[in-house]
Amino acid sequence: MPENSKGAAILSGKCPRCREGDMFKYPLVNVFKATSMHENCPVCGLRYEVEPGFFFGAMYISYAFSVALFTTIAVALSVLGDFPVYVYAISIVVAVVVLFPLMFRYSRILFLHLFGGIKYQPGKFNKP
């Protein structure tokens, strides 16, 4: 994948306009601060929250991630054996807690890149 492609920008959590600035302040491994976003792109100055409440729409993507996760765990456990209901519940809760920072980040990244209406403009921006 080319360095400045849309897919590479989404995977690495970069700004949709310049594809250079990070959207989040801290790396994903810092789980207690992993959801902290920059208000503006540190490179091009783009305001990430396009309008007030913009990221409420990211909840739909997060919901899709959660449904996919629940379904995957349920199918995997049913294939592996005949487990009681509490094993399903505990497995799903643990998976959601562990994967929350990742799902939160990528729901926002995908929502901004796909529905933000921001076009890639290499070099055509005012630095803050």
Domain boundaries, the chain: 6-115
Q: How far apart are CA 98 and CA 13, in angstroms?
A: 19
Query: pLDDT digits over 68-77, tens only?
Result: 999 999 999 9
pTM for the full predicted model: 0.84
Query: pLDDT digits over 104-127, tens only?
Result: 999 999 999 999 888 888 876 655
Residue 90: how many CB atoms within 10 A of its CB? 12
Whole-number Cα distances in Å, 13 to 10, 47, 76 = 5, 15, 30
Query: pLDDT digits over 48-87, tens only?
Result: 988 888 899 999 999 999 999 999 999 999 999 889 999 9
Q: How far apart are CA 120 and CA 128, in angstroms?
A: 18
Euclidean distance between the first and the last CA atom of the chain, given in angstroms as a whole number: 29
